Structure 1
Amino acid sequence: MPAIEFTALPLPHYIRAGYSLAGPGRKHPERCAIGEFDLLVVAQGCLYIGEEDRQYEVAEGHALILRPDLHHYPTAGCTERTASYWLHFHTAGSWRLTDDDGEEAAGGADDAPAPGRTFRMQTFRIRVPQFSRLVQPAKMYEVLRQLVALERDSHLHWVRWEQQLLFQQVLMMLAAGADARSPRPGAVVADQAASYLRKHYRERLTAKNLGEALNFHPVYIARCMKRQFGCSPMEYLLQYRLDQAKLLLLQTDLPVGRIAQDVGFRQAAYFTACFARNEGVTPREYRRRFLQNPGAAGLDPIPTTTGGGN
């Protein structure tokens, strides 16, 4: 499978990101030479995409980078509810497409040094697979979630800086997959815990339940998740439940009490309190704020993003 190799410095830079949902039959939009790299990470379901003469089935836990200089298009509609992150980025430096052995393939930009420079920058290569299965999918989802959450304040310089740092984490995780490096045992446990919490978030969960399901002591799981995600298992679960609640608030007309139950809260008042503490507005205010936001063609983006999406 080809890889995309960037020459740094300068580093590839972040442009924008979003989170999209597609129901059965929806398709990825067709575009031609958009001038930006387009990273797609599927968290649920499958996207069916072509790029020139190559076709991809981007299933849950997989990532695909669409090139900025080629035609990409849908090859089929989604067969199930499909959730994906999209991220646009660019590079002012050179890049090229390489084959499995690292030899240059067709396309890409040249690697000539910029004219008129007195001193040559110390460069290095960033090699990421164009299509890959994620080594640590839950960690990738979490970093992308943080990127999307920052979009509403992306007019602030410090936020753009933080987004660039998070984007570099995304590149490092993709590069780790290309290098086939095995994650640390603690990282594997954290990823398993995150996957279990995401799968069972509607249920009543405790640290003891999680420990029994994974066959590890709850304290060890908590330590692994703190190191991997910067939060405890229950904090991770709360954030995921709130993210799912936001989707339901924006894409259904279900009452707030019903949404609270559907995402795992036993009491609507506690859900409202948690939501307001996290978002700064109540669930009803959040719904009203974005009620008039239209969905993008093909997919319905979460309205914390700016600009176009996939």
Structure 2
Amino acid sequence: MNALPTGQFYGQTNQKLQVGHLTLTDTEYTHPWVDWHYHENAYFTFILQGKVLEGNRKERYTCTAGSLLFHHWQEAHYNQKPEGYTRGFHVELNADWFQSYEIKPLQGSIDIQHPQAKRLMYNLVKEAKRHASYTPLAMEALLIELFGELTQTSNRLYIREPVWVKQLRELLHDAPEEPWTLNQLAEHLALHPVYLCREMPRYFNCRFGEYLRMIRLQKALPLLLKQGLSLTHIALDCGFADQSHFIRSFRNQYELTPFAYRKLFVG
């Protein structure tokens, strides 16, 4: 079984940055099949464009644009890429990084679904793309915040979630563009709307408006990297009332405009 050293991934490396104990790599996936292998460092994979199937000894994930995975070091896995362009961003963290911040790494391979964690990763990638002025401080702080979010999420798993939490998450993620109302969601879940509104922050760590805005924007991010899609089309497809509302929400979330984001990643 192949063991890949720091900064090496199967495919074409378009960008590589070394920031202290971190190695950041922007890679185009060019191999239709990659056999079982592992990496010497723990790392995140963030799919920016396209899709890839990834499997380990327990699970298989179909990763589309916006998917975020974490692999513990020496966690064996394989990849299968369908036809088409696929691009991923990798953040490797060596053992010294975890030790320096006294952070316990996650175990195994994890498909991270939580939009708060993905928002932090998008911001980290944005910092890397601004490498002319990037600061290690900003990247380190975002990663520490990201592990804090994942640790909180992991701790919440020990509290038995009601069935409706999973159902609500699936409803919102399957159709974030829908003009959901509290009464509609409560009816789907057979709950009183007041109870649902009160309990939402306990299990989602934010309120309805913020959560829905996050997943709508995260649906929009990969669309911005597709050629020929106008901002108006993307805004309406993702559930925003109009282009102005979309641009304003995007700027508030990511501290740059959709135009600037597109230029940063596509050039």
* Pair 1:90 & 2:68 matched: no
Note the 1:253-264 alignment, pairs <5 A. Answer: 253-264=228-239
Retained in 1: the 8 A contact 2:22–2:97? Answer: no
1:266 to 235, 241, 248: 241
* Pair 1:183 & 2:160 matched: yes
* Pair 1:57 & 2:35 matched: no
* Pair 1:157 & 2:132 matched: no
**Counterpart AA for 1:166:** L
The structural deviation recorded for 1:33 is 6.4
**The 10-residue stretch of structure 1 (192-201 or 26-35) with the greater mean CA deviation from structure 2:** 26-35
Retained in 2: the 8 A contact 1:49–1:73? Answer: yes
Quote the residue 2:40 is aligned against: 35
Q: Counterparts of 2:23 and 2:254 in 1: how far apart (Å)? A: 21
Identity %: 21
If asked which structure has higher relative contact order (CA below 8 Å, sep 6+), I would say: 1
Q: Counterparts of 2:81 and 2:21 in 1: how far apart (Å)? A: 28
Retained in 2: the 8 A contact 1:143–1:166? Answer: yes
The structural deviation recorded for 1:164 is 1.6
Retained in 2: the 8 A contact 1:242–1:275? Answer: yes
Greater helix share, structure number:
2
**Counterpart AA for 1:170:** L
For structure 2, the 5+ residue unaligned runs are 1-19, 128-133
Report the secondary structure of 2:219's partner residue: helix
The structural deviation recorded for 1:88 is 2.9
Quote the residue 2:206 is aligned against: 231
**TM-score, normalization by structure 1:** 0.56
Report the secondary structure of 1:251's partner residue: coil
Provide closer, same or farther for how the CA distance between residues 200 and 82 of structure 1 changes in structure 2, counting only shifts above 3 A: farther
Retained in 1: the 8 A contact 2:119–2:214? Answer: no
Aligned residues: 235
Retained in 2: the 8 A contact 1:40–1:63? Answer: yes
Post-superposition CA distance 1:52-100 (Å, at most 9, x none) = xx696235799662534x88653x3348999998653332399xxxxxx
The structural deviation recorded for 1:285 is 3.6
Q: Counterparts of 2:196 and 2:43 in 1: how far apart (Å)? A: 34
Provide closer, same or farther for how the CA distance between residues 126 and 286 of structure 1 changes in structure 2, counting only shifts above 3 A: closer
Provide closer, same or farther for how the CA distance between residues 90 and 283 of structure 1 changes in structure 2, counting only shifts above 3 A: same
Report the secondary structure of 1:38's partner residue: strand
Quote the residue 1:115 is aligned against: none
Q: Counterparts of 1:17 and 1:66 in 2: how far apart (Å)? A: 16
1:218 to 171, 175, 193: 193
* Pair 1:282 & 2:257 matched: yes
2:53 to 41, 47, 52: 47
Report the secondary structure of 1:197's partner residue: helix
Q: Counterparts of 1:17 and 1:208 in 2: how far apart (Å)? A: 44
Provide closer, same or farther for how the CA distance between residues 39 and 268 of structure 1 changes in structure 2, counting only shifts above 3 A: closer
The structural deviation recorded for 1:199 is 0.8
**Counterpart AA for 1:257:** T
Q: Counterparts of 1:37 and 1:216 in 2: how far apart (Å)? A: 41
Report the secondary structure of 1:231's partner residue: coil
